[in-house]
Amino acid sequence: MREKELKLVITFHTTTAAMAMEKACNARSLPGRLIPVPREITSGCGMAWSAPPESREALEQAACSEGIEVAGVYQLTI
């Protein structure tokens, strides 16, 4: 079983926004990956971006510069 660790989880209203975040992060070599939204939180599209907490500022800047609407930003142990 994988050990749980603190992660930054960014949720989106739409699947299109989640996929745009993946594309933006890959283009900028930012850490993270798409995951199903954890049970502890809710999201309109069911997909979220998971990354190390220390990458929060860079991820928020990427989302803002690409015009990606974020539903919420959380720190969870997953």
- Tell me if 1 is assigned to some domain: no
Q: What angle do CA 61, 42, 17 make, to 5 degrees?
A: 40
- The C-alpha angle with vertex 57 and arms to 34 and 54, in degrees rounded to 5, equals 75
By residue range, what is the domain housing residue 33?
6-77
What's the token pair of residue 58?
């860079």
Taking the C-alpha atoms of residue 50 and residue 60, their distance in angstroms, rounded to an integer, is 13
User: Quick check: is 25 in a domain?
Assistant: yes
Number of domains in the chain: 1
Name the pTM for this structure: 0.94
Q: pLDDT tens-digit profile of 14-71? A: 999 999 999 999 999 999 999 999 998 987 889 999 999 999 999 999 999 999 999 9
Nearest-angstrom CA–CA distance, 29 and 25: 6
Q: Residue 64 and residue 76: Cα distance in Å, rounded?
A: 22
> What pLDDT, on the 0 to 100 scale, is given for residue 2?
84
CATH number at residue 37: 3.30.70.240
